[in-house]
Structure 1
Amino acid sequence: MSIVENLRHRRIFAAIFLAGIALLCAPLAQASDWQKEVEQRLLKRWQEISGDKADSAISFPGLQANYQLPDCAAGFELALVKPLQAGRNGLELSCSAPYWKQHLALQLHIYKPVAVLRQAVSADQPLTSADISMVRHDIGELTKGYYIRKEDVNEQVSRRSQRAGTVLSPDMLDPPIIISRNERVKIRVNRPGIQIQMNGTALENGRLDERIRVRNEQSQKIVFGRVAGRGLVQVE
């Protein structure tokens, strides 16, 4: 084979190879177009109903990367099975000409900084700001809840031992004890048009807004009251 013929064969092979690559890439580009349109429309809807312009994205779990919708001359319609929420959602895409319907699952990812343990803590340990880092997470995956401010976690007490890197949720923490058993407290009694305050003794530990037993030091009567603050029990 001459050098000229060899070069000609190489050019033909290269052209066939590039054409094959173009065919493989075409479905991906088309699929990406409709997915991008769905993402733009739903993210706009999310901002309208939530007022939240947080870092967000949409994915289609279980969907092949080269999946294409059937042709639709008028453009497809979009409907949600339930109100849009962070996490998994059901989606119906439809077309009137030609008529078709497609049901898909989509994941709405909403990314926010949430409170995460910077270091391991033990059971009954009060947390401080030094124990907490704010780390970006997809809140749609945090089904047990989360905290978006350090101050909401500061001084809370860990219910059990937790590892570093744990995303904190309300079921992991208790409010701090602000009244201790046998502590001298003020008992405040509220009645219509009158407020009385007297000395008392707490008969059990109490957290904010918990009901505890207290003893009136003057009458020695035991009553239930709500912990209203440090050293203060409110009796209605």
Structure 2
Amino acid sequence: MSIVDILRRDRLFAAFLLLLLLSMLLPLSVAASTSDWQQQVSDELCQRWQDIGGPGADCSISFPGLSPNFQLQHCEQPWQINLLRPLQPGRNGLEISCEQPWWRQNLAVQIQIFREVAVLARSVSAGQRLTAADISLVRHDIGALSKDFLTSADSLPGMELRRTLRAGTVLSRDMIALPVLVERGQQVNIRVQRPGIRIEMKGTALDAGSAGDRIRVRNESSQKIIRATVLERGLVQVD
């Protein structure tokens, strides 16, 4: 083999090694670029959510249906993110735009917002009063929940369930009620309290009520119908 053939072979081998090296490095560069722009979008959207909903929620962003190798076009200036509707947990549409060179890209993003919510630790029957042991706080994606979910268990002990619910149910305000302390037709004590004076008389409740409810009560002595506030079981007070 001549010297010329040897040199030609070495050049071809070197070129092959260079192409092989580039093919190995290019996907890494693309992946890093893709990760960078997705992280920028995620940080921007999560910050916007914190501005709306407060700092009490964790935010996670994904890009459903997007190719792993997808890249935004080059932009000489920082690109702009415009939401197609107000930001909310779940699926959102956004537009990323660039002024120089001018281009526009529409994308779908999935926003998961995680908060601690009140969850039943065991199954509870309708009308049963909740105890502290019945309730747990669990981290949950609130995007799939109704808007009146509960994030604290402090006020729940003593409440009654409106219907039977299974363990693991996320509690909302429409599922609970204050216990009824006075039934319609029940005999009650009517309290009239003034500075230095407290009088109680017998009466009949014309409405059912829970603590704090104002109900109609008939004074058994005068037969007058008055309004009174439910204080406790069998006791109402005239304001």
User: Which residue in 2 is equivalent to 1:67?
Assistant: 70
TM-fit CA distance, 1:51: 3.6
User: Which residue in 2 is equivalent to 1:98?
Assistant: 101
TM-fit CA distance, 1:118: 0.7
Q: Distance in 1 between matches of 2:136 and 2:56?
A: 22
Equivalent of residue 150 in structure 1, options 149, 153, 165: 153
Give the residue type in structure 1 aligned to 2:189. V
User: Which residue in 2 is equivalent to 1:173?
Assistant: 176
Name stretches of at least 5 consecutive residues in structure 1 with no aligned partner: 1-8
Name stretches of at least 5 consecutive residues in structure 2 with no aligned partner: 1-12
User: Which residue in 2 is equivalent to 1:202?
Assistant: 205
Deviates further, 94-103 or 128-137: 94-103
Spell out structure 1 runs of 4+ moving beyond 6 A: none
Q: How does 1:54-133 map to 2 (within 5 A)?
A: 54-133=57-136
SS in 1 for 2:154: helix
Q: Distance in 2 between matches of 1:134 and 1:209?
A: 28
TM-fit CA distance, 1:104: 2.4
Give the residue type in structure 2 aligned to 1:136. R
User: Which residue in 1 is equivalent to 2:5?
Assistant: none
Are 2:36 and 1:36 equivalent residues in the alignment? Answer: no
- Pair 1:119–1:53, CA change in 2 (3 A): closer
Q: Distance in 2 between matches of 1:63 and 1:80?
A: 18
User: Which residue in 2 is equivalent to 1:5?
Assistant: none
TM-fit CA distance, 1:76: 1.0
- Pair 1:216–1:67, CA change in 2 (3 A): farther
Equivalent of residue 139 in structure 1, options 124, 138, 142: 142
Deviations 1:20-73 (A, max 9, x none): 554444433222111100122222233334441532222233333333222222
Contact 2:188 2:236 in 1 (8 A): no
Q: Distance in 1 between matches of 2:117 and 2:102?
A: 45
Contact 2:56 2:115 in 1 (8 A): no
How well do the aligned residues superpose, as a CA RMSD in angstroms? 3.2
| TM-score where L is the length of structure 1 | 0.76
| TM-score where L is the length of structure 2 | 0.75
TM-fit CA distance, 1:117: 0.9
Contact 1:198 1:216 in 2 (8 A): no
Give the residue type in structure 2 aligned to 1:70. Q
